[in-house]
Amino acid sequence: MSTAHSVSGRALTALSLAVLMGLVGCAGISPRQQNTAAGAGIGAISGSILTGGSTIGTLGGAAIGGIIGNEAAKK
């Protein structure tokens, strides 16, 4: 395994753990806020993966995921 793969794999694992730990701290927020946060986290990880770790891809994924999570919570 190359060093670049090893570093990006560790970064993705660290990001995933940070998102999960952040969501655990969201026990006192509304379901809509939880969905928005979860969508942003999933979107950030997806954007990072799809763009090879680019900052713009990660932020764009987070924004789009947050919007989708927010809209999904509307009834």
- pLDDT tens readout for residues 1-38: 455 556 667 777 777 777 777 767 766 888 888 888 88
Q: Is the pLDDT of residue 63 over 90?
A: yes
Domain boundaries, the chain: 32-75
| Contact by Cβ (8 Å): 46, 31 | no
- pLDDT tens readout for residues 35-60: 888 899 899 989 988 988 888 998 89
Check: pTM over 0.75? Answer yes or no.
Answer: no
Q: Which residues contact 74 (CB under 8 A, 6 or more apart)?
A: 32
Q: Check residue 31 and give its pLDDT.
A: 85
